[in-house]
Chains A and B, each alone.
Chain A
Amino acid sequence: MTKAKVRPLPIVPLCSIGASAGGIHALQDFFGRIDDQLGLAYVVIVHLSPEHDSQLGEIIARRTRMPVFQVDDDMVLEANHVYVIPPDRELIIDGNAIRALPFTEPRGKRAPIDGFFHSAATGRGDGMAVVLSGANSDGALGVRKVKEAGGVILVQDPQEAEYGMMPRSAIATGVADFIEPIPRIVERVAEVARSKKAIQQIEEEEAEEDLRRIVSFLRSRTGHDFSSYKRATVMRRVMRRMQVTRVDTLAAYHDYLRDNPEEAHDLFGDLLISVTAFFRDPAAFDALGSEAIGALFDSLEDEGTLRIWSAGCATGEEAYSLAIMLLEEAERRQVSPSIQIFATDLDEAALATAREGRYPKTIDGDVTEHRLRRFFVDDGTHYRIRKELRDMVLFAHHSALKDPPFMHLDMVTCRNLLIYLERDMQRQLLSLFHYALRPGGFLFLGSAESIDTTPELFHAQDREARVFKARPRAVRGVELLTQQPREHRPTIFPRLPAEGRDRTGSPPPVAHKIALEEVAPPSALVDEEQRVLNLSKNAGRYIQPPEGPISILLPELVRPELRAELRRALDRALAAREPTLTLPVNVQFESATRRVIMHVAPLTGDDRIAPQALVLFMDAGAVHSTTDAEPGTGSEGDDRLRRIEEELRTTQERLGASRREHEGAIQELRVANEELQSINEEYRLTAEELETSKEELQLINEELSTVNGELESKLDTIAAAHSDLQNLINATEIGTLFLDTDLRIKMLTPAVERLFSVTDSDIGRPISDFTHKLNLDGVEGDAARVLRDHAPIEAEVSTRDGRWLMMRLRPYLTVGGKIEGVVLSFVDISARREIEERLRESEARYRGLFDAMDEGYLLAEPLHGLGSGPADILIHDANPAARRLVRSDPVGRRLSEIAPHLDDPWFELAERVLKGGASERRELWAKPLGRWFEVGISRVGTTRLAIVFQDVTVRKRHTDERELMVAELNHRVKNMLAVVQSICRQTLRTTPDPEAFTEAFSQRLAALARAHGLLTQDHWGGSDLRELAMSVLDSFAHGTRRIRMDGPALRVPPNASISLAMALHELATNATKYGALSTPSGKITLSWMQNDCNLHLAWNESGGPEVIPPTRKGFGGRMLASVARELGGDMKLDFAPQGVTCRISFPLERTAPIAED
């Protein structure tokens, strides 16, 4: 299934309507009048605000019975329906499908009418485009596209439109088919629609034949053969013309074409519309390069100027092509002349394209890659002309036919413009170019054009390439373009200061022609076949067509009397090319018979144009039946002769005067002509300047719109920043007050309103006008100081309602660093203050404890050396007790500085706690300090240790002493038990009788106990000898003074004390039993003295019974000996009859006597 077989729904004929300012009224008028059964689909494009809903559909619906829709995303066109554009969308059409899409262009550059026309032209190929009132130029580019695609362009008459700008822009493109007020446009639309309907029904075969006839007619009329053109193109253009001329069939159009000479021109113009390209006809451009451009540079005086005029430049490709060639030549020659190319055209839309210098990528077929690189910038989708090239070309709206020419040109290019023009017009235009060119300047024409009409002005440099050279100028001047349409005629003539002349009349040549037309005899123009081409105004008097079919052959049309004579004369004139005057012929008119003479003049042009002949009918007066015209008598004859001579003389005089007057007039004309030329020159310069200014203004305008766009976006940014700021202010609840340099309120936030009793309405008033709730005077003074010193102020202030605020005053700095006021900010810090207060109390409490406690406290950080354990410990903090204990301030110092060579266990303990995390408590010996410390270590964080320690040296000593004492006591008790055991055994040995044993043993134990008691009393530090002796001997003396003691106070060691006590006990027991104490009169003296290092102790008994020495050595004697041995001394016991004496000497260091405390 191919696409060709599945024909889509027939295309609904489209009428696109573009309108803008003032367009609503025009649309109401349009739809109020339009027939609702034309079978068209109407699409209305207007400029709508993107922000608002459009009421356009409803407005139109009130005026027409046709359904009106606002286009959704996608719709299908139906006949006799109206579709309107929705806001903020552009419409795209393809076949019958119409879609609304978001704009692709930014808002300032949107042209929805152009866009839709363009879419209709490419997506459908034809249709009507109507441009109504509007104040911009949207639609101008679009109508050109529609026209190219075969559409019909209707434009509201700018005179009628509320805003004429948009219609005028459309008209300026030159493609408008109808320029009419709305009622006429409505009629035209209906006519075009109907003819379009008819055209659509044309049979293919019939069309083929008729088209061939039309093309062949066109060839005969214009000399240009379009048979080689694409049939479809020609068909489309012809059908367009048919719509415009409102004929229904090709045959009818053929007739219309034949009968209306101007239609051939219009069709020809349509067929040639808009065809230009870079280096169009490359061979010709190559020839131009070699023949003309080289020569131009040759003749160029160094750094001179080259002036080129590209007339009919269309979209600028030709002008840029020239510029490229000139630049290349300049670079080749390494010169830099000033090159100015004037490129002119009537088509504003084409000129806009040319000025933009932006061409589709497809130009790479015409432009070499090297040139593309050198002279164009690739902007992705298009090639853009580089500025260097762009600056060389000045584009201007200018008509070569109408406007003053550019002057002193080196070259004129005018390609494919002459072919639109009649020969006469061609001739005038060429002479204008010649006038504009410097002698020897070049003219470059299109491939179908020549200078044949003015061979005296140009000669061919390269005929094939159509390069011509201006001949040296014979006369300075240019033929006036008298054949121009009225509006093209120069309008400066009436301004000439021509005294005595009719200022309101037409210029003399024109007036002359008009006058000629008035007085000239009736005439007729015939072609070679003697067919009438034209008749003059009053030629009808001589025409009397014969019966039968109408003929256009002049000899058959004239009055019967003239026919034979005229045929002969025409034959002669056309064949021999000689003017012929016929003999007078009597012709019977209604009223009278007149003699008529015919003058037949052949018109010769060049060979290409068929010969023509002009027939003049001259009335030679009435034919009188009588001869009353014959002269009468002689005297009458003389009189008449004299009168005639007189008349002749006066006539000659008048003629002389007229001739002089004529010469004077010619002189004036020459002057006027000179003035005209200089004015022309001025106009030309002004036009150039204006054009340049216009371009500059356009550039500035573009820049301004760019700047405007940027400003708008900046404004958006600022608005966003402002709302951000507002939200920030509301969110932070920081009271902020902005003051200007006069301390007036610039801005404030809600949080500050209560504090200063201000509101937004107080902005602009001085801050000193307001009372505030701060317990602080001179806020204004502070603000003034900040302004003066530029230094911020910060303070905590309380308010009268018991809150605390952090007040900050800072200079208000602009982005540029300028100080433009003061910013006051207030942050509520009541909660913070309270917490701080509590924290301070808690801190003080714990600080007191910390400072007062006996334990030393250190916060320390183990420092790691190369090994695994800490190399040292850094002290971060210490309490007074710690300082006291280490006898220095350890903060910031290392342990090794405070106590060098500390034992390893200290570091091991620290490391263990740090790694394990479990707190430990140890007693450690600090060798460097000579002290014992109890140390508790716990981990703080992961790297620090808290060390609590106290000096336990004293406690340690006490503990050691106690242990020693317990051991000593144990030892001593056992020793004592051994002593008791020994006493027991000795006593038993000497006193076997139990009662006596008990007595003796008890007494010995008692003595031992007493000695012990004495020693214990003195803490086993030894005993005073006298006290020791008294404690033993008192029980024996029974309170009497029988035992006398004599000796200094001295101290006896503990062991010696026990032994001495036992020894004295034995001596006293013996004395009681056998000695001095056995009788009441007996006495004992115990004396001692210290001599050198020895103590000498003497026991002397007296007054007792006579002493009988014992038979064997008793317990007492042995014990005394043993005691002496123990003391390392001597003992001598003497049993003298008068009394026992005993002397004991033993070494005793002289010691201080025991203090009597």
Chain B
Amino acid sequence: MLKTEPLRLLLVEDEALIAMDLEAMIEDMGYSVIGPAASVDQALSILGDLSAPPDAAIVDANLGGSSASPVIDALRCANVPTVIASGYEAAELESMGLTSLFLRKPYSAETVETALHHVLNGIEPVPAREL
């Protein structure tokens, strides 16, 4: 086993059970988890506290009834590859102004891994691509 630092992923998910599951799933994949943050404030606070930006992020589009756009905007500014996860349809997301790789809920470990693989390898979805 190579002694390398695992990639750090920021998770933002308000639903406690899903966040728990996603965290376990990501850790199973061998990544290091930051968070999970349950709200915009928590996510921004965590981002602000980090010494280095995360390598990637998975963000639920709706956080406790609020749009996750501030978080997504901040991640984009920091050039963090981001996957958006949501129960919404792609068109609905677009109307909210969210354009990014889109992960439809409920998701499986495979879809999460593919999405991460895409964003980490710079395969940019245009404009919102569903996996």
Which residue numbers of A lie inside 8 Å of B, CB to CB? Answer: 967, 970-975, 977-983, 985-986, 989, 1055, 1059, 1062, 1118-1119, 1122-1123, 1125-1128
Contact = CB atoms under 8 A, between A and B. Distances in A.
A982 B87 contact: no
A1055 B14 contact: yes
B54 to A, nearest CB: 17
Nearest to B28: A989
A986 B41 CA distance: 27
Main secondary structure of the interface of B (DSSP, over half): mixed
Contact of A979 (B17, B37, B39): B17
Contacts of B14: 1055, 1126
Contacts of B104: 974
Residue among B16, B18, B62, B107 with the highest chain A CB neighbour number at 10 A: B16
Contact of A1119 (B20, B87, B106): B20
A967 B64 contact: no
Contacts of B107: 978
Contact of A1123 (B16, B24, B41, B89): B16
A1125 B62 contact: no
Residue among A981, A986, A989, A1125 with the highest chain B CB neighbour number at 10 A: A1125
A1128 B38 contact: yes
A982 B21 contact: yes
A805 to B, nearest CB: 77
B42 interface: yes
A974 B16 contact: no
Q: Would you list the 3 A-B pairs with minimal beta carbon distance, nearest first?
A: A974-B87, A982-B21, A978-B106
Contact of A1118 (B20, B86, B88): B20
Interface string B74-91: 000000000000111100
Contacts of B15: 975, 978-979, 982, 1055, 1059, 1126
A985 B21 contact: yes
A969 to B, nearest CB: 10
B92 interface: yes
A967 B96 CA distance: 14
Contact of A975 (B36, B37, B42, B87): B87
Contacts of A983: 17
Contacts of B39: 1128
Given A983-B17, A1062-B17, A1119-B20, A1125 B87 contact: no
A979 B36 CA distance: 16
A970 B21 contact: no
B106 A981 contact: yes
A475 B42 CA distance: 173
Nearest to A983: B17
A496 to B, nearest CB: 153
Given A1122-B36, A1126-B15, 14 more contacts: A967-B92, A972-B87, A973-B87, A978-B87, A978-B107, A981-B21, A981-B106, A986-B17, A989-B24, A1059-B17, A1119-B16, A1119-B17, A1122-B20, A1128-B39
Residue among B24, B38, B89, B92 with the highest chain A CB neighbour number at 10 A: B38
A1128 B19 CA distance: 14
B105 interface: yes
B88 A971 contact: yes
A1126 B39 CA distance: 7
A989 to B, nearest CB: 7
A982 B88 contact: no
A986 B16 contact: no
A1042 B15 CA distance: 31
Contacts of B36: 1122, 1125
19 contacts: A970-B89, A974-B106, A975-B18, A978-B15, A978-B87, A978-B105, A979-B15, A979-B17, A979-B18, A981-B21, A982-B15, A982-B17, A982-B21, A982-B22, A989-B24, A1062-B16, A1125-B37, A1126-B14, A1126-B38
Nearest to B108: A981
B87 A985 contact: no
Contacts of B19: 1122, 1125-1126
B98 to A, nearest CB: 14
Given A977-B105, A981-B106, A989-B24, A1122 B64 contact: no
B67 to A, nearest CB: 13
A980 B106 CA distance: 9
A973 B25 CA distance: 22
A1125 B106 contact: no
A1122 to B, nearest CB: 4
B87 A1059 contact: no
Nearest to A1120: B16
Nearest to A972: B87
Nearest to B38: A1126
Nearest to B65: A1055
A1126 B24 CA distance: 16
A1055 B25 CA distance: 22
A978 B18 contact: yes
Nearest to B88: A971
Contacts of A1062: 16-17
A974 to B, nearest CB: 3
Interface in B81-131: 86-89, 92, 104-107
Interface string B20-44: 1111110000000000111101100
B38 A971 contact: no
B17 A975 contact: no
A1126 B105 contact: no
Contacts of B18: 975, 978-979, 982
A1118 B105 CA distance: 22
B29 to A, nearest CB: 14
Nearest to A1060: B16
Contact of B62 (A971, A1059, A1123): A971
A1128 to B, nearest CB: 6
A1127 B64 CA distance: 9
Nearest to A980: B106
Contact of B17 (A970, A973, A1122, A1128): A1122
Residue among A974, A980, A1119 with the highest chain B CB neighbour number at 10 A: A974
Given A981-B106, A985-B24, A1125 B92 contact: no
Residue among A985, A1055, A1122 with the highest chain B CB neighbour number at 10 A: A1122
A973 B87 CA distance: 8
A1062 B21 CA distance: 14
B64 A1055 contact: yes
A989 B17 CA distance: 14
A974 B105 CA distance: 6
Contact of A1126 (B16, B87, B92, B106): B16
Contacts of B64: 1055
Nearest to B25: A985
Contacts of A980: 106
A1125 B16 contact: yes
Contacts of A1118: 20
A1059 B16 CA distance: 7
A1127 B92 CA distance: 26
A963 B12 CA distance: 28
Nearest to A982: B21
Nearest to A977: B106
Contact of B87 (A970, A989, A1122): A970
A977 B62 CA distance: 16
Contacts of A1127: 38
Contact of B24 (A970, A972, A974, A986): A986
A566 B36 CA distance: 204
B18 to A, nearest CB: 5
A1010 to B, nearest CB: 15
Interface in B36-73: 36-39, 41-42, 62, 64
Nearest to B42: A1128
Contact of B38 (A975, A977, A1125): A1125
A989 B88 CA distance: 28
A662 B126 CA distance: 177
Contacts of A970: 87, 89
A365 to B, nearest CB: 120
B115 to A, nearest CB: 15
A989 B39 CA distance: 26
